Structure 1
Amino acid sequence: MHGRWTAASTGPRCTSPHTSRGKPSRPTGILGCDRLRQEMASASREVYHFKDEELSSHLLSQLNFLRQDRILTDVLLCSDDQEIPCHRNVLVSSSPYFRAMFCSNFKESSQTRIDLKGITSGILSGIVDYVYTGSITITMELVLPLMQTASMLQYSRLFEACSTFLQEQLNPDNCLSMIRLSEILHCASLREKAREMAVRSFSDVAASEDFRELSLPELMCYLEDDRLCAEEEQVFETLLAWIHHDPFSRRGAIHDLFKRVRLRYIHPAYLFQFIANDPLIQSSTLCTEIIESVRRLMFSVSSKCTQELKPLWGTPRRYTCRETLVVVGGRKNNEQTSREALLYDERTQRWQWLAKLPLRLYKASYVSIHSILYVVGGLTMTAGDNVVSATVYTLSLKTNQWRTAEPMLEPRYAHQCVSYLHFIFALGGIGADKQISDTVERYNSMFNLWEPMAPMPTAVLHPAVAANDQRIYVFGGEDSMQNPVRLIQVYHISRNLWSRLETRTVKNVCAPAAVIEDKIYIIGGYTRRMIAYDTKANKFVKCENMRERRMHHSATVIDNKLYVTGGRYLNGHDAIEDSDCFECYDPKTDVWTSKGTLPYKLFDHGSLPLICVSNKPNPP
């Protein structure tokens, strides 16, 4: 009998999974995986998105190793007899220039050797390294050819990196050269930064040889720039220096350049004594006509100018000429008359100390005109005696030094001063005879002299005074018996004539007044009340009250907002206390907001706007 192999002879019989108990069976391991999968699915429904942050840099690194070993490289970039092996797909992916070269019907698409003329081998090698590594070293020796090549090969991020490097090298000596370079390279970012440097450091740039070589359109562009950091006197001197550098070909441009000077913000004495007498200006009929129009405007004491002068006269200040708040004099901490002068920096919201007044002046008057602070009159202590002063002190932020100006005709203190156009008016106060005065005198800044004007109809102390539209308004105050005077006295500047109006609305003493858009705001005065007198409609408007009853405080207007500082107030027990309060009122919203505090308590002081030329960019 022949033997036959059977399953039994080799061990236990394997049962088919399809025949066990009539049901299909599955391996135990698979059943376990299904159960685990179901449990995990029921436990969480979240999806895990994996991103390998190192993959791209690793891939680029490996491609660079392949390039260095010439593995799979399929094109040679050639310059100065040097061949640099590369991968077409890497070049195509990195630059629109190579994409167009290799993916279009250009002959280079089928060539294995590409000659890049006009590019040195060192620059080309550096750019290829940049493509494969993402890094490159930029130096002053390499930046220009590197920037030109990056522009040609359309590596925009490398081009901007070169621009950033050049921006870091900017200074007043090279910014004009950088502007010319940026125009050659068509680099907008470098041009804007270099121009910003030129207008911000105009004083230094204007003294350079490059500035004198500017073309007329380029110079005009600078003089028209609102960001120019310069006083208008310097703008005029700069254009003169530019003309004198090449007088034969440039003197004909004097009229066009002169129209770019913002004459409204030039001190009248400088305008009529220096500018008007300059030979270049006198040689131009059009320039002399402009100056005569300004002269007529000022002598007529009119705020309205001719049609020809309006575009020049109406030009706003440059952005860099910003109004800043200056607080000066007064009684400090109720101890003694202060010599301090403080400037408030809106950007940092901090106070800066300026040069101290030459001496202590009790109840002097404070006014600003042509970016100069005037401290007028006051009471001084000399050898134990009180002396009424006629002295006038001036302070310019440019020099931060006190100087004396022409003294008043009469000594006075506790008086009021107000400026209008190129005039300062000193009204009333107490004279040397210790009596309340009704006299008025006017300082003419064009000629540096004081002259007597028509006296006030009624002598008052501590009124609220403001000037608007050729008129000076004197609200309230008190008489010699310390009784409130319910009166508005109006002085017509051009006619040198007073008028008066009795009104029950006015009852202010020791209250300041300030003008915003034809409204005169009278702030407090032994009351919390603030009212606005509409000079056009001839009526009073009620405004939001202050928090306390205030007097002997000061107020001024900056950027059409009212700033109130210090003073004295009546507390809840009707006791008088000194204040270090610093508040701001916005007439558009009729809301008061706190600006913090003064460095010390202060009253009977001056609070004034002065123009500060700043080369710091404006806050956003």
Structure 2
Amino acid sequence: MDRPAVKIFHYKDKEQSSNLLLQLNGLRQENILTDVSLCSGNTEIPCHRNVLVSSSPYFRAMFCNNFIETHQTKIDLQGITSAILSSVIDYVYTGLVSISMDTVLPLMQAASMLQFGRLFEACSSFLQEQLSPDNCLSMIRLSEILNCNSLRDKAKEMAMKSFSDVSASEDLCELSLPELMGYLEDDGLYAEEEQVFETLVAWIHHDPLSRRGAISDLFKKVRLRHIHPTYLFQFIANDPLIQSSTLCAELIESVRRLMFSVNTKCVGDTAVDFKPLWVAPRRYSSHDMLVVVGGRKNSEQTSREALVFDERSETWQQLAKLPIRLYKASYVALHSVLYVIGGLTTNTKTCQVSTTVYTLSLKTNQWRTAESMLTPRFAHQSVSYLHFIFVLGGLGPDRRLTDSAERYNSMFNQWEAMAPMPEAVLHPAVAASNQRIYVFGGEDAMQNPVRIIQVYHIARNMWSRMENRTVKNVSAPAAIVDDKIYIIGGYTRRVIAYDTKANRFIKCANLKERRMHHSATVLNNKVYVTGGRHISGNDVIEDSDNFDCYDPKTDTWTSKGPLPYKLFDHGSLTLTYVSNHGQNHG
């Protein structure tokens, strides 16, 4: 007969370990079986060697390695006060300790010396909770003295993310040159370049005699490409510190030449190796956001709404409304500012063709007026390139199609006339690339499609034109990814990419339906297409709330869900938003 299988019961007494500590602590307090006293000043605390050895590598080494202390009954612990020693011993026997701002540093030093790792980290956690922009630089110093990586990492993260507050603190001016350089060259700094410049100037002015010589090394850390030209050429270039340095003056001159000649070939002509400085990326603090503005909403009147798409949460948020209703204005982004240019005013008694320019930055979320255009126009096209905005064609005050063009120079805050277009067209697709502006197709005054590409050479202020049978787009936007200009729809489902280098067209995946009066922009190397009107299966024109994304790498379209409302003839732009950590742009 088989014997029944022997059952084994694994019992774990959950109270045994904590109960044991309690009993040991009771024995210590009654001085029973204690075999060593830890001394600080006049205070002696009786303990059990085996408890100390079990709790810390420091005591294990002391009592188990034939050192002199092995045979001593009293151990004097230098550099630890009696109150702190008492707290540490209580912690060893109970696992409990009270940490305050008064005790945290001596406690941390004792924990470090006696090798109580978890107590050391508990003190670090306490200090991390006290972190603020005002004290994080001091905490970094402290963390280095204490050799505490967890505190240093957390304090450094705060210094990077709250740099605008930190840069105003007294501690910043106490940084050494290598420390300041470390911050300013970091891609992870949450700061705008203007602020980076102001910070280094304040640091030098704190001790001008010994620090003036550092100006050129520090100035190289400012990413000049991402500074608004007006600020760079009017404010920074005239700063006495900058003018006192040949190298700084050369750097500014390199930027000036680069922008004026509109030709990147001159980057190498300077004595300074300017290329790495020019291509330094925007810092981590900024991210690109998609903004939709104006247009005709829900088939009704022109819209004053502006919306921003939050890619992370895939939600739309409202921005401040346009000050006025505008019919067929043009929309463009430059230096992270949204420009709404011209248009027909519809909420006045008489419809006026406008020269007004409205601007909005995500940072302030307020509309302002900028310098007005030279010529009133609506149904025109705008495109930005380097520090210019180019405005092309459209309808003038007489409602007639015009070939006139003008450009806004943000460096001097002024508009200037350009050579007129070879052929006046309405609703072409426009894109700027490689020192040129490309104007594809559109229609003439009789609403016939125009099968040409018009090319404006920016540096020479000259136009050329090319006949091309492939071009037949009307009311289609263009978008650029990797030197290719994508023309999306335009009374057709067709999407084509123009390779500017090879001067040829490539066919891309079609849209789902024939689409026009929509808008497109590029975000993270993908093309986002918003709204417009489409022609349904019954040849009926309907307004659209579609929001679609095209990925050039895979040549595929995906839907991003609907817009908050149906919209056409609007602007769709990508704006760079520099966030102050923890603040919303809304």
TM-score, with structure 1 as normaliser:
0.90
What corresponds to 1:542 in structure 2? 507
**Take 1:509 and 1:89, find their aligned partners in 2: how far apart are those partners?**
88
Corresponding residue for 1:329?
A: 294
Q: Distance in 2 between matches of 1:69 and 1:601?
A: 82
Deviations 1:506-533 (A, max 9, x none): 2211111111110111112122222211
- Measured in 1, the distance between the counterparts of 2:80 and 2:510 equals 74
Partner of 1:391: 356
Does the residue aligned with 2:547 lie in a helix, a strand or coil?
A: strand
Distance across 1 between alignment mates of 2:185 and 2:261: 29
Quote the residue 2:120 is aligned against. Answer: 159
Report the CA distance shift for 1:301/1:128 in structure 2 as closer, same or farther (over 3 A): same
The residue number in structure 2 matching 1:63 is 24
Query: Is 1:381 aligned to residue 342 of structure 2?
Result: no
The match for 1:437 is 402
Q: What amino acid is aligned across from residue 492 of structure 1 in structure 2?
A: H
Q: Which residue of 2 aligns with 1:15?
A: none
The residue that corresponds to 2:137 in the other structure is: 176
1:577 paired to 2:542: yes
- Cα RMSD of the aligned pairs, angstroms, is 1.8
Map 1:150-229 → 2, pairs under 5 A: 150-229=111-190
- Report the Cα offset of residue 615 of structure 1: 3.8
Classify the secondary structure of the residue corresponding to 1:514. strand
The 3 A distance-change label for structure 1 pair 48 and 507 is farther
Equivalent in 185, 188, 211 of residue 250 of structure 1: 211
Separation of aligned partners in 2, 1:489 and 1:104: 88
* Counterpart mapping for 1:304-315 below 5 A: 304-307=265-268, 308-315=273-280
Distance of 1:507 and 1:339 partners within structure 2: 31
The equivalent residue for 2:83 is 122
Identity over aligned residues, as a percent? 75
Aligned to 2:282: 317
- Alignment match of 2:260 (pick from 299, 316, 326): 299
Distance of 1:543 and 1:174 partners within structure 2: 55
CA distance in 2, matches of 1:305, 1:323: 29
CA 1:572–1:136 in 2, change beyond 3 Å: closer, same or farther?
Answer: farther
Structure 2 distance, partners of 1:407, 1:488, is 29
Question: Aligned-pair distance for 1:355?
Answer: 1.6
Aligned CA distance change for structure 1 residues 253 and 345 (closer, same or farther; 3 Å): same
AA aligned opposite 1:234: Q
Name the CA distance, whole Å, in 2 between partners of 1:382 and 1:513.
30
Contact 2:139 2:152 in 1 (8 A): yes
Q: Which residue of 2 aligns with 1:457?
A: 422
2-structure distance, mates of 1:133, 1:430: 84
- Amino acid in structure 2 at the alignment position of 1:290: L
1:285 aligns with 2:246: yes
- 2:226 paired residue among 265, 269, 273: 265
Within 2, Cα distance between the matches of 1:510 and 1:262? 38
Matched, 1:370 2:335: yes
- Is the contact between residue 324 and residue 347 of structure 2 (CA under 8 Å) also seen in structure 1? no
State the shift of 1:549 in Å: 2.4
Distance in 2 of aligned mates of 1:504 and 1:357: 40
Cα distance in 1 between the residues matched to 2:536 and 2:64: 84
2:123 maps to amino acid = C
Partner residue in 1 for 2:576:
611
* Cα offset, 1:548, TM superposition: 2.8
* CA spacing shift, 1:150–1:474, aligned 2, 3 Å: same
Deviation string for 1:568-601 (max 9, x for gaps)? 1223333222222222222222232333332222
Secondary structure of 2:267's match?
coil
Q: What per-residue deviation string (whole Å, max 9, x for no partner) do you get for residues 410-448 of structure 1?
A: 111111100010111001111111111111111111111
Provide Cα deviations, 1:343-377, integer angstroms capped at 9, x if missing partner. Answer: 22223322222221110111100001111111110
Q: CA deviation at 1:383?
A: 4.4
- Residue 79 of structure 1 aligns to which amino acid in structure 2? S
Q: Mean alpha-carbon deviation: is it higher for 460-469 or for 242-251?
A: 242-251
In the alignment, the residues of structure 2 paired with residue 365 and residue 347 of structure 1 have an alpha-carbon distance, to the nearest angstrom, of: 28
Of 77-86 and 144-153, more deviation after overlay is shown by: 77-86
Question: Structure 1 pair 152/390, CA: closer, same or farther in 2 (3 Å)?
Answer: same
Q: Residues of 2 paired with 1:399 and 1:551: CA distance?
A: 33
Deviations 1:388-427 (A, max 9, x none): 1111111122222211111111111111100010111001
Provide structure 2 residue ranges, at least 5 long, that are not aligned to the other structure.
none
Matches of 1:79 and 1:165, distance apart in 2? 26
Tell which deviates more after alignment, 310-319 or 62-71.
Answer: 62-71
Q: Distance in 2 between matches of 1:615 and 1:164?
A: 25
Amino acid at match of 1:546: L
Amino acid at match of 2:544: S
CA distance in 1, matches of 2:233, 2:358: 23
- 1:198 maps to amino acid: A
After TM superposition, give the deviation of residue 69 of structure 1 in Å: 2.7
Q: CA deviation at 1:48?
A: 5.4
* Unmatched runs of 5 consecutive residues or more in structure 1: 1-33
For the 8 Å contact 1:88–1:102, the answer to whether it is kept is yes
Q: Deviations over 1:306-328 (max 9, x none)?
A: 23221111111101011111111
**Cα distance, 1:49 vs structure 2:** 4.3
Deviations 1:67-92 (A, max 9, x none): 22333322211113222222222211
CA contact (8 A) 1:172 1:204 kept: yes
The answer to whether 1:600 aligns with 2:561 is no
Paired letter, 2:176: S
- Give distance in 2, aligned partners of 1:60 and 1:547: 73
- Provide the aligned length of Structure 1 versus Structure 2: 579
Q: Is the 8 A contact 2:304 2:324 kept in 1?
A: yes
Aligned-partner SS, 2:190 = coil
Shift of 1:105: 2.4
Q: Partner of 1:385: helix, strand, or coil?
A: coil
The equivalent of 1:86 in structure 2 is 47
Q: Find the aligned partners of 2:534 and 2:199 in 1 and give their Cα distance.
A: 51
Deviation readout 1:97-122 (Å, 9 max, x if unpaired): 11111111211122222111111122
* 1:128-147 correspondence to structure 2 within 5 Å: 128-147=89-108
Q: Distance in 1 between matches of 2:559 and 2:148?
A: 46
The answer to whether the 8 Å contact 2:164/2:580 transfers is: no
Q: CA deviation at 1:543?
A: 2.1
Code of the residue aligned with 1:394 in structure 2: it is: T
Residue 51 of structure 1 deviates from its aligned partner by 3.5
CA distance in 1, matches of 2:535, 2:132: 56
C-alpha distance in 2, partners of 1:553/1:357? 20
Residue 138 of structure 1, CA deviation: 1.2
Residue 315 of structure 2 corresponds to 350
Partner deviation per Cα, 1:269-298 (whole Å, 9 max, x = no partner): 111111111111111111111111111111
CA contact 1:363–1:604 (8 Å) conserved in 2 = yes
Q: Distance in 2 between matches of 1:546 and 1:371?
A: 30
Contact 1:303 1:469 in 2 (8 A): no
Tell me how far apart the structure 1 counterparts of residues 249 and 513 of structure 2 sit (CA, whole Å): 54
Secondary structure at 1:607's aligned position in 2? strand
How far 1:60 moved relative to its partner?
2.5
Q: Following TM superposition, by how much is the alpha carbon of 1:384 offset from its aligned partner in structure 2, in angstroms?
A: 3.3
SS of 1:521's equivalent in the other structure is: strand
Q: 1:617 offset after TM fit, Å?
A: 8.3
Note if 1:274 corresponds to 2:239. no
- Write the distance in 2 (CA, Å) between the matches of 1:135 and 1:498: 80
- Distance in 1 of aligned mates of 2:36 and 2:60: 14
Q: Which residue identity lines up with residue 247 of structure 1 in the other structure?
A: P
Partner of 2:456: 491
Provide Cα deviations, 1:538-558, integer angstroms capped at 9, x if missing partner: 222222223332211111112
Partner of 1:337, secondary structure, is: coil
